[in-house]
Structure 1
Amino acid sequence: MSTTKIGWIGLGNMGIPMAGQLIKAGYQVTVYNRSKDKETALKEIGAMVAETPENLVSQNDVLVLMVSDDAAIEQIFNGANGLFSTDVSGKVIINMSTVSPAISKEMATLSKEKGAQYLDAPVSGSVKQAETGQLVIMVGGDETAFEQVKPILEKMGKMAVRLGDTGSGNVAKLAINSLLALYTQGLAETVIFANQQGIETEALLNLINNGAIANVFTKIKGDAIVADNYKPAFALKHIVKDLNLAKNIGLGSPLAKTALNTFEAATAKYGEEDLIAVIKQVKG
């Protein structure tokens, strides 16, 4: 069993299975989440609980964050009872959230001033990959800090790669999620077009899934379309956030603009549903 103690903040759809992988790997994990009911599943498999982010710091060597957006990061670091309200010297802070490179650079600078190391380490993959430790983890920040925590990251993912300085992990994740948005809308439009011409969804997906462009995403989201199941593995509102973050750092290509317009239009009705619910927006 590793002697490294891990503090975990953020227990959403991804945070719970990711933290669970570390517990199963033998790490001592202490969790904090604003919604306390989310802590129950991990307590049952051995997690301890902290009442505030501040409490989490003193008990642990490595702090992992998996939250929704820049505003949540700002609150966790600088809010009342936040990470920076206590001594963080000697800690490694791993921010696995999908946030802007700018917030990572800001928090990395503040962390360094306070004697801590900061890594941005967002992930590619959804709930199923989190549950099986098969995420792809892209990291920005100090190489020594990365090597120190790489064994931890490798318990959650099949690949953990350092891409460069602070923010580079965030940039890579925004690029990947931009492609995800383009592909999702493309899949939705393809299904609708085929249906309009008399081809059943199941028949079309069978062809795609056995052809040159077959992939895991099409299989999962295709099954969701057929089942009319839009329970969120990745909520549509989050892809809107990510496309806007990408836009803010320069993404302005024709397809990206179109996807942002489409997903933004879908948010009011389908924002809490899975991103493949965009098919309902495209169908009109």
Structure 2
Amino acid sequence: MKNKKIGWIGLGKMGQPMSGQLLKAGYQVYVYGRSEQDTQLMATKGAVVSPSVLTLTNTVDVLFLMVTDDLAIDDIFKSETGILSAELTGKTIVNMSTVSPAINREMAALCKEKGAFYLDAPVSGSVKQAEEAKLVVMAGGEESVYENIKPLFGILGSSSSLIGEIGAGNLAKLSINTLLAIEAQGLAEVINFGEQHGISAEKIMSIINNGALGSIFMKLKGELIINDNYNPAFALKLLTKDLRLAKAEGLDSPLGNTVCKTFQEAEAEFGNEDLIAIKKQL
């Protein structure tokens, strides 16, 4: 696998540390991103900057994508200099973006027509986990394709698993992110309730972190609330996008409906802040 050329499209908060893990592991990595600042930063780490998606795709054997939404995926694949304009025979496309299962199925079918393999493989974890290579990868696609790429997933994260057919990875991710929203809103409501009665966030978090309800997520987000720090590790607007995707896939439950409503109401004012800014909306 080390002789394979790796491509990476999408150099945002997650794409940079994830592609950086492959560089540190000794792979030759070619990158493409919208921001010249981001691409030049990756160049200083040893990546080769490609001038276009088409050039990048023609150069590499395995291509990873980590972008924001369905619109970005559609453009990256279908534009005049997009992935589908390249010679794809024998290449593997790994879409690690959290997008709709439907667009993954569409792009997988188009890639198959051109002789390429495809996985959807979103991750659980945020920037800190990406920097520490502790992401959890959930993949959808053919088992043989997954097994071929699995060693690369081992560089990016602490575990990976094949969930099912194309789209299954993103269905699992939407499930996980629904729970993420429920936990975030629950934590925010509890701290708000405590503060209304003169109990500080520090005291509430001390109880949570030292008891059965403690978790890495609770600790990290509790610290953000205590420090009044809402710089986004995972932006509220992105979680809201994922909740909309979950609703489109049939999410219809009491807690699911509640967090969908709350996060959508918060998006306009707090969308660019960390997801735990839901506390301010509440």
TM-score by length of structure 1 reads 0.98
User: Is structure 2 residue 277 aligned with structure 1 residue 277?
Assistant: yes
Stretches of structure 1 that go unaligned for 5 or more consecutive residues are none
Letter of the 2:13 counterpart = N
Letter of the 2:32 counterpart = Y
The equivalent of 2:140 in structure 1 is 140
The equivalent of 1:194 in structure 2 is 194
In 2, the alpha carbon distance for the partners of 1:103 and 1:143 equals 20
User: Is structure 2 residue 45 aligned with structure 1 residue 45?
Assistant: yes
The equivalent of 1:209 in structure 2 is 209
Aligned ranges for residues 1-284 of structure 1 at < 5 Å? 2-282=2-282
CA distances 1:133-174 after superposition (whole Å, capped 9, x unpaired): 000000000111111111111100000111111011000000
Letter of the 2:270 counterpart = Y
Letter of the 2:208 counterpart = I
Residue 108 of structure 1 and its aligned partner are, at CA, apart by: 0.6
In 1, the alpha carbon distance for the partners of 2:39 and 2:187 equals 36
% identical equivalent positions: 55
CA distances 1:43-79 after superposition (whole Å, capped 9, x unpaired): 1110001111100112110000000000100000001
Letter of the 1:265 counterpart = E
How many residue pairs get matched? 282
CA distances 1:210-265 after superposition (whole Å, capped 9, x unpaired): 00010001110100001100000000000110000000011011111110111111
Residue 198 of structure 1 and its aligned partner are, at CA, apart by: 1.4
In 2, the alpha carbon distance for the partners of 1:99 and 1:75 equals 13
Residue 85 of structure 1 and its aligned partner are, at CA, apart by: 1.0
In 1, the alpha carbon distance for the partners of 2:40 and 2:17 equals 13
Give me the CA root mean square deviation. Answer: 0.8
CA distances 1:89-110 after superposition (whole Å, capped 9, x unpaired): 1100000000010000001111
In 1, the alpha carbon distance for the partners of 2:234 and 2:252 equals 23
Secondary structure of 1:12's aligned partner: coil
Letter of the 1:54 counterpart = L
Secondary structure of 1:174's aligned partner: helix
Residue 40 of structure 1 and its aligned partner are, at CA, apart by: 2.0
Letter of the 2:37 counterpart = D
In 2, the alpha carbon distance for the partners of 1:261 and 1:35 equals 33
CA distances 1:2-53 after superposition (whole Å, capped 9, x unpaired): 1111000001100000000000000000000011211122111100011111
In 1, the alpha carbon distance for the partners of 2:126 and 2:239 equals 13
Secondary structure of 2:31's aligned partner: strand
Stretches of structure 2 that go unaligned for 5 or more consecutive residues are none
In 2, the alpha carbon distance for the partners of 1:182 and 1:114 equals 41
In 2, the alpha carbon distance for the partners of 1:35 and 1:120 equals 24
In 2, the alpha carbon distance for the partners of 1:138 and 1:204 equals 33
